[in-house]
Amino acid sequence: MLSFKIKVNGQTINCKSEISPLLLLKKIGKKNDVIYCGARMNHKIIALSTIIREDCELAFIDISNPQGLEIYRRSVAFVLARAVFELQRNSRLSIYHSMANSFYYDF
């Protein structure tokens, strides 16, 4: 039987089945005014959809954190690229660069 502990915000949570950080947020109750965009599991950045199956320390990343802001910007850039491809089926992405605090696309 699967059993592991997740330490988050100084609190230890016992889990009997695998769980994602997103489901864990719902379980422990998240702040409504905070936008979480990732998590740090044992000092490694992971997606909120990553499945956790082992003991770990977990910290949630929101957009007020520089790493969180980068995750958010990159996600929005991918959504923009996808939207362009949906609207302009014949378009091709020829250049994609990360530049300081922004992204550059050439379609």
SS3 at position 91? coil
**87 three-state secondary structure:** helix
In the predicted structure, residue 96 carries a pLDDT above the cut 80: no
Q: Which residues pair with 96 in a beta bridge?
A: 105
Mean pLDDT of 77-98: 80
Asked whether the beta carbons of 107 and 84 are under 8 A apart, the reply is yes
- Model confidence over 17-75: pLDDT tens digits? 999 999 999 888 877 788 899 999 999 999 999 999 999 999 999 999 999 988 988 88
**Average pLDDT of span 64-89:** 87
